[in-house]
């Protein structure tokens, strides 16, 4: 996984709450067996609407998505994270993320930055008044920044310490866990014999 320290890119105001993973990428796009190429399916239903934000040239190259609360609810499909990344997003800002989506983001290197709902409102207003304006997501200082002067928006965001550390270091979870393999092996010795198995010896 690539290290993430700070990113500045065009902010995309997605004025919606409860953006579920079926909206991020509908099931019909999930049939691929690779991790790439999912950008076509991203928000596919909404992209048919001319007024949809990504159909506006100013936002089309966006890399920081600013969405309403309960982003990423629903299905566990990590394809939702891949679709956002395949399109070019590096970070999503929202007042509240669904657990599985947040977990998937952390594993794949997409920053899910949780901010106060007021910050999202201000970012929406700023990005709509200044289409194509950039937003900075600074993982080292845990802050989001946009605008300048009196209009400047700067606030802290929440992300758990462990995920932040892994993203900053670009570490792979499986490698970390396998480093503790003896713990797993000794745990396995303590499991009761009546626990079920799917394959039976002999």
Q: Is 98 in the site for another protein (CB under 8 A)?
A: yes
Query: DSSP assignment, residue 133?
Result: -
Cα 72 to Cα 79: distance, rounded to the nearest angstrom: 11
Find the binder of another protein among 3, 37, 61, 76 (CB under 8 A): 76
Task: Report whether 12 contacts 123 (CB < 8 A).
Answer: no
Q: Is 155 in the site for another protein (CB under 8 A)?
A: no
**Of the candidates 168, 158, 170, which has an alpha carbon nearest to the alpha carbon of residue 6?**
168
Q: Is 128 in the site for another protein (CB under 8 A)?
A: no
**Which pairs count as long-range contacts for 30-35, CB under 8 Å and 24+ apart, including other chains?**
30/77, 30/79, 35/82
What is the number of H-type helices and E-type strands within the chain? 9, 7
Q: Closer CB to another protein, residue 18 or residue 136? A: 18
- CA–CA distance from 63 to each of 10, 12, 172, 193 (Å)? 6, 7, 23, 51
Residues 6-45 that bind another protein (CB under 8 A): 16-18, 20, 22-23, 26-28, 30-35, 45
Find the binder of another protein among 8, 55, 58, 74 (CB under 8 A): 74
Find the binder of another protein among 10, 12, 65, 81 (CB under 8 A): 81
Of the listed pieces 55-63, 83-91, 140-148, 172-180, which binds another protein according to CB under 8 A?
Answer: 172-180
Contact residues for another protein, defined by CB under 8 A = 16-18, 20, 22-23, 26-28, 30-35, 45, 68-70, 73-79, 81, 96, 98-100, 103-104, 107-108, 160-162, 173-174, 176-178, 180-181, 183-184, 187-188, 191-200
């Amino acid at each position: 996984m690539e290290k993430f320290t700070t990113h500045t890119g065009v902010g995309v105001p997605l004025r919606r709450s409860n953006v579920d993973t079926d909206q991020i990428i509908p099931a019909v796009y999930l049939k691929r067996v690779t991790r790439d190429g999912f950008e076509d399916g991203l928000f596919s239903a909404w992209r048919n609407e001319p007024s949809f934000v990504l159909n506006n040239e100013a936002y089309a190259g966006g890399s920081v998505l600013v969405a309403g609360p309960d982003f990423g609810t629903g299905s566990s499909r990590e394809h939702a994270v891949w679709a956002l990344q395949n399109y070019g997003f590096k970070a999503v800002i929202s007042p509240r993320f669904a657990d599985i989506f947040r977990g998937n983001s952390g594993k794949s290197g997409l920053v899910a930055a949780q901010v106060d709902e007021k910050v999202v409102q201000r970012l929406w207003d700023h990005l709509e008044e200044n289409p194509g304006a950039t937003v900075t997501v600074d993982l080292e200082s845990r802050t989001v920044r946009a605008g300048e002067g009196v209009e400047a928006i700067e606030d802290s965001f929440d992300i758990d310490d462990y995920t932040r550390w892994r993203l900053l270091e670009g570490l792979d979870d499986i490698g970390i866990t396998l480093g503790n393999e003896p713990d797993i092996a000794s745990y396995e010795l303590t499991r009761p014999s009546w626990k079920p198995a799917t394959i039976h010896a002999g």
